[in-house]
Structure 1
Amino acid sequence: MTLTGDTVEDIEASPETFWKNTLKTELSDVVNEKAPEPHYKPEETRITISTKRPKQSFQKRFGTLSIDWNIVENKLRSWSHLGSSLHVEISFIYKEIQLDTTNKLAARDKLIAQQQASGVRPVWKEVYELFECSNAVCPNRGFSCWRDPSNKRHVKLDSDTMDKLIDYAEEGNTLEKHDDDGGCGESSANARNATRRSGQARLAFPMPVDEAPKSYCDWLCNQVTNKTWKDAYQLACRVTLEKGYHLGRMYEAQAVDAKMLATSGVLPGIAIQFVSRIGDWLDDICPE
């Protein structure tokens, strides 16, 4: 999920000075505003310096917010003769801190209160109300339940699944009310899709992670006959391996890594496919 994206032009300060005096504070404000609870922590920072030449780019990753600005500044100086054609893209990747159930519920209630106070539609509250079980004979009464329309069986939803459903709803998708007559087929399908599509951080690979890109690339190539597409898939695979990227991380940060691949010369449409179809590939080779 991308919280925001801003463009700043004609910066006259050094990268480190701009970070300390401006960007660091703005980043903190955005994180506090957009994701106040549950808490998030910085996981890594990705910096891409590119030019108008499609294959001329420099990429560097740093842990958390520990950025060595000397590396960035030295590269900018070495390319300073290119002038206004230089473009610097910085992506800050944050990861949710795992909370125990009590703290997670408290964090959820706090966010609902903040959303209501600011006039924002409380998506979390609506999703929890939708799936709250009120059936007097259900052992899950008072908790979150999903009813299987095929057999009316109640399935208790854990907090991780509810988080996925909330993510699905916050993307603008519709979760319809469950009806006692079993007319909730679309809602249950949405629930299953949300579980599959939003479970990005929990992808499991049935092979060493350094072998996964090649296997994934072979799978993609087998889906098409166009040689240009196959060549683009193979280039995306090479870039992924050469830069040491993990397919699971790429699936989590699709917008960021699709841009990275495109900057490295991969066709834009193929770049988007490469980061977004990882889940489909795993579903195909590891059927439930």
Structure 2
Amino acid sequence: METTDFDWLNGNWASNLEFLPSDSPRAGTAAEADSQAGERVDQTGSELVLPLLRLSGWEADKQYDKNNPVCIHYDFRWKISQRENIRARHICSNTDPDLVLAPSDFWKVNFEARLETLLQDEDKFPGDTYTCEETIIEISIERSRQRGLSKRYPKLEINWQEVDEHLEGLGDLFSKRRKIIFGIEFVYKEVTGDSTTAKGKKKKKSATEAQKQQRAANAGLWSRLYELHRCRSKHCKQGPHCLPDERGNHRKLLPAQLEEIVYYIKANMEEGETEETVKVDIEIPPHILRNILDNSRKRKADNSPDCRHCKVHVSETIPSEDSGDVEGDRHAKLEEYCNWGLTQVDSERWRNALQIANQVAMDQFLELNTILQHPKVVADLMIKLKVPPGIALQFVSNIKKFLREEK
């Protein structure tokens, strides 16, 4: 058996091998080179600007992964509203998440036809004809208040080039994982006209017209009830609506109690009576009266400074000749005042805020006499219902100017 020769291990073999410690200049240079290369890769990736996908490069069957994107992704939030009087009422809305196709192309191949189909839904649009008044587009970026877009276009005349270019300019933000939301609202209005009908046939009322008439009738009933129980005492702190007893003590009427009275009146209407003609000066039912008295006692027990019963002089129960009562239909006068207020400003931002105040006044069945006599109560109510304080103060302060100009 041959003996293995290990003599090659002897000698200075180790001197031919060079081990570099970690603090060696040459080792540091190599490590720095690797680190800088990695930083260049990361930097290049973070500055990558993704494009907006157009129809020519879009593959309908392809699954586009937003976690490994090759183009901009965005959420498409749409809304359809119907304008009635002052504000637009929400009809329907939804979101198409994670779209990649440019908005103009998505409109052509998908949403334009969907919009036409939605307008044929008789439950949502019971009228005969509707027309688009304006289209509102809002583009927003998650965790950023800058570089958004807010545009209003007449009818459906959208400047799609402007919209696409703005969205494409957000590619760098999407590369940083910022979510992009594309919002579009279509504001429609029912087309009404004096269309002729066949002789001897009565024109059928649309559901919208019937609803409007019912709301007007309800508003008339509420307005008369408000007027009946509106407190005219200068020293009363219970208002704006009270129930004086035979001794002149005022009991505060809460909105829920007024609502119970309205329901009672409606439930006991006789044949032939309507909300516009039914008598509102009725004897308060015992169960409602008990509720009013219990609430009054509770307020007194809580020792609230404004809950003490106030005496009313007989002369104060009758409005004075210079009380400045606004004559005419309460609802019509309020609507005239709301529209007049909108004509006093040019700023779109102010007009939007005024429209909120106008809608609150309509929804709460306020009328000009009540506002004139209880401006602080009305202003506080509006502020509570999200009306900007400055707008609320304008709303209650400009009535006299409106009445002077009307004369």
TM-score by length of 1: 0.49
> What TM-score does the superposition give when structure 2 sets the normalisation length?
0.36
Higher percent of residues as helix: 1
Look at both structures and tell me which one has the larger radius of gyration over its CA atoms.
Answer: 2
